[in-house]
A and B are shown apart, each in its own frame.
Chain A
Amino acid sequence: MKRVFAIVAVLMFAAIFFGLVRGYSERQTRSPLAEYYLTQVPRELGAPNVVTGILITYRGFDTLGEVAVLFMVAASVGVLLASKSGENTQVTNAASIDESEPSELVRTGAEVILPLIFLFGAYVIMNGHLSAGGGFQGGAVVASGVMLLMLASPATQLHHGFLSVTESLAGVLYVSIGILGIVFADGFLDSHILPLGTFGTLLSAGAIPLISALLGIKVGAELSVVIDRFRR
């Protein structure tokens, strides 16, 4: 009975979505807001990547919010999974190591690829304002490297203290840069506190690369913590 209701509900949604698709016509023009961003981000912020410019400056408040979200997730996943494991952590860990020793292929592959992944992550983070990428994306790449590391050598222990200090520090710095924006520029999170530099170079676009880097560090650290928590 319930299943019938569920299927009917899904079908109803299919109908709603169908209505949306039918009413949809691809846009031919950009909204004034989009046009503003497309012209002002390169000109005013000096960042070629418009998306990063929006994310870090114009919608920087959102970004700060989502950093807070990740931060909370790292903390609460930590609490949720740490509080239960307590006494039997050692046992399960030992058991899992016995059973699932990673294969030769994974270990060797990891040794080769890991440095590349981390390097790529750093690249994506630092070039966020120039090309596709940014702090979040790069942070995620770094964290995927951490994941590979764990798969390859399950005995690896991440230093949680170090990671939490790192993410905490990055967060505090991020907020401080935002405050500097109030003091030295036109408002909270304004990226004009640093000179714009030469358009298209690594050290340009005001504080955007700096914030990107902090974001990358913070996201990388947080995602790594989350992944490690799930490993138990």
Chain B
Amino acid sequence: MGLPVSQILLVTGFCLILIGLAGIFVHRNILRIIIGFSLIDTGIHVVMVATGYVTGGTAPIIDAALDKANAATNAVDPIPSALVVTAIVIGFSVTAIMLSFAIRLYDARKTLDIDAFTESKW
């Protein structure tokens, strides 16, 4: 039968996180680092959705495919989906803030290299 669907999603999500992590540390450019963070976020969202999957479940929306009576036995877990909506919004917000910081930093130093921003230390 092969791998269950959620396992595949899980692996995908974790791979995205790892790629994001690697991106954060391999690149010196602030924008690329921010992209790394976005990837991590996405990866986590995928993982969250994957953990909500129940074998054979369908979307937790009462419609033609799912009637009220069977909702409790045929749908996937709706909670991770609900959490993911919130998490996505927060992820977006953080990315927006990081980008605006990046713009201000670029204005200050005319570079996006993270090495240029080490004046406070020790």
Contact = CB atoms under 8 A, between A and B. Distances in A.
Contacts of A20: 10, 14
Task: Give the bracket for the number of chain A residues in contact with chain B.
Answer: 35 or more
Given A81-B103, A131-B61, A38 B93 contact: no
B61 A48 contact: yes
Interface of A: 2-3, 6-7, 9-10, 13-14, 17, 20-21, 24, 26-31, 33-35, 37-39, 41-43, 48-51, 54-55, 59, 62-63, 65-66, 69-70, 72-73, 76-77, 80-81, 84, 130-132, 134, 136-137, 200, 219, 226, 229-230
Interface residues of B, number: 46
Given A33-B79, A38-B75, A10 B54 contact: no
Interface of B: 4-7, 10-11, 14, 17-18, 21-22, 25-26, 51, 53-55, 59-63, 68, 71-72, 75, 77-79, 81-82, 85-86, 88-90, 92-93, 96-97, 99-101, 103-104, 107
B61 A14 contact: no
Nearest to A227: B96
Contacts of A66: 86, 89-90
B79 A34 contact: yes
Contacts of B68: 39, 42-43
Q: Name the prevailing secondary structure of the A interface residues.
A: helix
A91 B17 CA distance: 40
Given A28-B55, A136-B85, A230-B103, 17 more contacts: A6-B26, A9-B25, A10-B21, A14-B14, A24-B7, A24-B10, A26-B55, A27-B54, A30-B54, A42-B62, A65-B86, A70-B89, A70-B93, A77-B100, A132-B61, A200-B62, A230-B100
